[in-house]
């Protein structure tokens, strides 16, 4: 039969049926009497419930005359100990309903107790987890873990003690501070990345500006070259005008000679001399004509004395020599005309045209020689006509552009390009006939002037806008918030890019002024950032100093370590108050601080454990001396020996500096006991304590104490009804104080039992 079946089996049935009462025996209570008794018991039960008389309620559970009273009384039982006692009393009886009610209430109390125990365990576990989490550095799962822990805590917070609630709330706030600091570091990093991106954008903008400046410089050089060419053309035109005037005078002089007016020809030659002093070098044909004029003037004086016939022959031969000449058409034409003028002069000087045959010969040679010139000048006329047509088409395109352009939202860059390229193309389409091209030139100048007027108005508006941006950038220098000013400057730079065109020189001047103010704002921002970086470095130095101080504390031992441990909260507060650290060193520095803090906590815990172990060692040693003194009393030793043992115990107790809580008082109580004690009973009590310690630690019990261990286990099962070990029975300090409270035993037995107990203690 098992252990449980032996102790919890039903009560045995009666061995024989009760004897039948004699017929003449007194009859039992009548029905009215039983009803009255039941009513009295119900009233007594109600009074007991109202008066919380647990003893009366328990008695009615067992002794109630009616099932109703017994069951009502069973339902009113709340004390677990009385429930267990009543279950033992009614087990095996006839009233199964009462037994079921009692066992159900016991089971419900057990469930409630287990639920309460689980709730307390969950509260302890969650609060400890949140406390540990609040001291962790931030990692990718930090926020998710905190949220899970907070959800677990919300489920049990209503049942927690106020102190635990406050402590957990502080830990949650510390964890949220860790998250806030992490977010702050992320924001600072994002700000630095934004600053880097802005710097890169500024660099790109500077490159764009440099490229634009290079393009502007190239355009400006092209404009200068064009201006130089135009000036050169104008100078050439002036020179050509002067040369044309000189050519006109030369022709007039030749005409005067042909007309026979030598005096007038000489006067024109003097005018030519005045003009030649300021004129450019004469081209070859004019120089030749002037030379011919001089020659003719020189010859006229002698013509009357010479015959003109040889000269005519010479002119005819020279004209015939020009037929098929390789001279350029213009020079050739001038040469032919010169010979013709000379022929006419000869005719006038000779007083007639001379022989017709000679004239026909001379004229025919002139026609033949002039044929290449005629072809050349016809081609030039075609070129001038074509240029005129191209100018007309260009004017029409530019007029159509002006008419069709959306001046509500004009594209000024297209306007600038159209105006510049139109003027360049107009210059390329030259020469043209002066008379035919003069009206078209006036129309073109009016059209380009109109477009230029619109563009100049846009230039003026944009110059005003950029001037306003320069003033705003200048005012930002007084802004105390360098970061805000930097952001404003970037916004102004974007607005600057959005402003329309401005003449190159004016735009460069405005840009230099704007850039200086922007650079000043960025430099101020850099100075602020440098100060911020210096602050981070100072925080880092402070953090390193605190880590080093913690590491020094972790290296201490003994009372010096415990004394320094009181400063640990202040060191943590100082580290948290150190502020933000440099990004590259923050994680390592916080990890170093946490590792040093954990080493300090481990060192303190180890030191406290050593001190506690030392205090318990001293307590057991003092208990042994008290035992020797009380053993002398039990043996009725002489007074001198007892006094000697008492003084030895007192001296040892006085020499110990630290005791477990309540240890010194327990020793003094045992030392004050002067009565004799049962040594055998004391030995049994110590053996029982050793067995309890061995059961708790799972250690084996020596063979000689195995029966005692079985008896103890059976008694514990009976006492606890299988409910497990009581909490006080499982506490080592309680068992140690019980050890101190046991009376004296023999030295050899005590030493052996103490070693068994200490092995379990360890």
Q: What is the pLDDT of residue 49?
A: 86
In a domain, 472, yes or no: no
Residue scoring higher pLDDT (296 or 400):
400
Do the domain assignments include residue 345? yes
Domain boundary pick from 386, 416, 431: 386
Check whether residue 146 and residue 251 sit in a common domain.
Answer: no
Specify the range with the lowest mean pLDDT, choosing from 155-169, 264-278, 689-703: 264-278
Residue 24 lies in a domain: no
CB 624 within 8 A of CB 648: no
In a domain, 728, yes or no: yes
Q: What are phi and psi of 445, to 5 degrees?
A: -65, -40
Name the pLDDT band for 1 (thresholds 50, 70, 90). Answer: very low
C-alpha 591/C-alpha 171 separation (Å) is 19
Number of domain units in the chain:
3
Between CA 509 and CA 513 the distance in angstroms is 7
Render pLDDT for 160-175 as a digit per residue (tens, 0 to 9): 888 888 888 888 988 8
Q: Are residues 286 and 146 in the same domain?
A: no
Q: Which residues neighbour 243 within 8 Å (Cβ) at sequence distance 6 or greater?
A: 279, 280, 282, 283, 286
pTM of the model: 0.34
Q: Is residue 146 domain-shared with residue 282, that is, in the same domain?
A: no
Whether 464 is in a domain gets the answer no
Q: Are residues 152 and 246 in the same domain?
A: no
- CA–CA gap between residue 676 and residue 495 (Å, rounded): 105
- Tell whether 269 and 138 lie within a shared domain: no
Q: Which two tokens stand for residue 37?
A: 């008794």
Q: What is the pLDDT of residue 729?
A: 46
Could you tell me which residues come within 8 angstroms of residue 145 by beta carbon, excluding any fewer than 6 positions away?
Answer: 133
Co-location of 111 and 243 in the same domain = no
- Residue 347: the pLDDT is 64
Q: What does the pLDDT read at residue 27? A: 43
In this structure, the answer to whether residues 268 and 364 fall within a common structural domain is: yes
| Mean residue pLDDT across the chain | 80
- 140, pLDDT greater than 80: no
Residue 429: inside a domain, yes or no?
no
pLDDT at position 351 is: 44
Choose the final residue of a domain: 386, 421, 454: 386
pLDDT tens digits, one per residue of 533-585: 888 888 888 889 988 888 888 888 888 887 888 888 888 888 888 788 888 88
| Cis geometry, peptide bond prior to residue 431 (ω within 30 degrees of 0) | yes
Instruction: Identify the domain containing residue 304 by its residue range.
Output: 234-386
Higher pLDDT, residue 94 or 531:
531
Determine, yes or no, domain membership for 324.
yes
Name the percent of the chain lying above pLDDT 90.
2
Residues 623 and 753 in one domain: yes
Q: Which of 323, 357, 386 is the last residue of a domain?
A: 386
Question: Does some domain include residue 19?
Answer: no
pLDDT of residue 303 exceeding 70, the answer is: no
The pair phi, psi for residue 603, each rounded to 5°, is -60, -40
pLDDT in tens, 471-511: 888 888 777 666 788 788 888 888 888 888 888 888 889 89
Q: Are residues 123 and 267 in the same domain?
A: no
146 and 242 in a common domain: no
**Backbone dihedral region of 656: left (phi > 0), alpha (psi from -120 to 50 degrees) or beta?**
beta
Q: What is the DSSP string of 615-655?
A: HHHHHHHHHHHHHHHHHHHHTT--HHHHHHHHHHHHHHHHH
Average the pLDDT over each of 1-10, 101-110, 327-336, 620-629 and give the range with the smallest value: 1-10
Query: Is 150 in the same domain as 53?
Result: yes
Same-domain pairing of 242 and 147: no
The per-residue pLDDT for 446 is: 92
Nearest to 529 by CA among 61, 39, 199: 199
């Amino acid at each position: 039969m098992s252990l449980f079946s032996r102790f919890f089996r039903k009560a045995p049935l009666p061995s024989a049926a009760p004897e039948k009462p004699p017929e003449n025996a007194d009859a039992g209570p009548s029905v009215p009497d039983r009803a009255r008794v039941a009513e009295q018991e119900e009233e007594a039960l109600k009074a007991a419930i109202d008066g919380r008389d647990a003893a009366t309620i328990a008695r009615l559970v067992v002794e109630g005359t009616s099932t109703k009273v017994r069951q009502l009384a069973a339902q009113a039982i709340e004390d677990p100990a009385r429930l267990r006692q009543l279950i033992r009393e009614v087990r095996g009886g006839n009233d199964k309903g009462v037994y079921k009610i009692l066992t159900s209430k016991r089971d419900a109390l057990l469930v409630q107790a287990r639920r309460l125990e689980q709730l307390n365990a969950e509260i302890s576990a969650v609060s400890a987890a949140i406390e540990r989490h609040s001291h962790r550095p931030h990692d990718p799962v930090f926020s998710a873990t905190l949220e899970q822990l907070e959800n677990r805590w919300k489920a049990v917070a209503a049942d927690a003690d106020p102190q635990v609630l406050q402590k957990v709330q502080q830990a949650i706030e510390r964890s949220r501070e860790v998250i806030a600091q992490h977010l702050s570091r992320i924001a600072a990093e994002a700000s630095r990345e934004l600053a880097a991106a802005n710097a890169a954008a500024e660099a790109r903008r500077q490159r764009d500006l440099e490229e634009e400046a290079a393009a502007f410089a190239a355009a400006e050089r092209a404009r200068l070259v064009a201006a130089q060419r135009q000036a050169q053309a104008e100078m050439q035109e002036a020179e050509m005008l002067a040369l044309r005037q000189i050519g006109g005078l030369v022709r007039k002089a030749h005409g005067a000679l042909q007309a026979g007016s030598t005096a007038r020809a000489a006067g024109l030659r003097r005018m030519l001399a005045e003009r030649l002093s300021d004129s450019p070098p004469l081209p070859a044909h004019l120089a030749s004509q002037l030379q011919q004029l001089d020659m003719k003037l020189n010859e006229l004086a002698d013509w009357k004395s010479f015959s003109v016939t040889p000269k005519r022959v010479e002119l005819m031969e020279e004209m015939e020599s020009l037929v098929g000449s390789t001279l350029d058409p213009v020079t050739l034409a001038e040469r032919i005309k010169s010979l013709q003028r000379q022929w006419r002069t000869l005719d006038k000087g000779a007083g007639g045209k001379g022989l017709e045959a000679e004239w026909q010969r001379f004229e025919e040679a002139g026609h033949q020689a002039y044929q290449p010139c005629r072809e050349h000048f016809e081609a030039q006329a075609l070129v001038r006509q074509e240029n005129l047509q191209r100018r007309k088409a260009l004017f029409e395109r530019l007029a159509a552009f002006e008419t069709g352009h959306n001046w509500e939202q004009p594209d000024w860059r297209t306007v600038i390009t159209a105006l510049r390229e139109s003027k360049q193309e107009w210059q390329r389409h030259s020469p043209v006939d002066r008379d035919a091209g003069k009206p078209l030139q006036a129309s073109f100048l009016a059209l380009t002037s109109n477009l230029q007027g619109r563009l100049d108005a846009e230039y003026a508006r944009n110059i005003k806008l950029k001037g306003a941006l320069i003033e705003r950038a200048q005012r930002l220098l007084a802004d105390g918030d360098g970061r805000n000013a930097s952001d404003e400057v970037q916004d102004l730079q974007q607005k600057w890019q959005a402003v329309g065109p401005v003449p190159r020189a004016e735009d460069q001047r405005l840009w230099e002024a704007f850039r200086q103010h922007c650079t000043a704002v960025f430099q101020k921002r850099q100075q602020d950032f440098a100060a911020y970086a210096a602050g981070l470095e100072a925080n880092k130095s402070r953090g390193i100093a605190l880590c080093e101080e913690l590491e020094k504390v972790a290296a201490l031992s003994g009372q010096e370590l415990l004394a320094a441990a009181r400063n640990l909260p202040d060191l943590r507060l100082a580290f948290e108050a150190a502020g933000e650290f440099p990004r590259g060193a923050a994680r390592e520095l916080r990890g170093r601080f946490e590792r040093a803090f954990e080493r300090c906590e481990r060192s303190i815990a180890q030191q406290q454990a050593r001190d506690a172990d030392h205090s318990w060692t001293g307590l057991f040693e003092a208990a042994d001396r008290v035992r020797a003194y009380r053993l002398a009393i039990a043996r009725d030793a002489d007074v001198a020996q007892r006094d000697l043992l008492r003084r030895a115990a007192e001296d040892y107790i006085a020499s110990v500096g630290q005791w477990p809580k309540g240890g010194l008082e327990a020793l003094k109580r045992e030392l004050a006991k002067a009565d004799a004690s049962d040594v055998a009973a004391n030995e049994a009590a110590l053996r029982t304590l050793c067995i309890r310690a061995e059961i708790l630690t799972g250690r084996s019990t020596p063979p000689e104490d195995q029966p005692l261990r079985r008896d103890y286990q059976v008694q514990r099962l009976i006492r606890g009804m299988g409910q497990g070990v009581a909490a006080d029975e499982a506490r080592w300090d309680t068992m140690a104080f019980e050890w101190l409270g046991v009376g004296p035993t023999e030295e050899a037995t005590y030493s052996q039992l103490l070693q068994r107990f200490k092995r379990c203690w360890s």
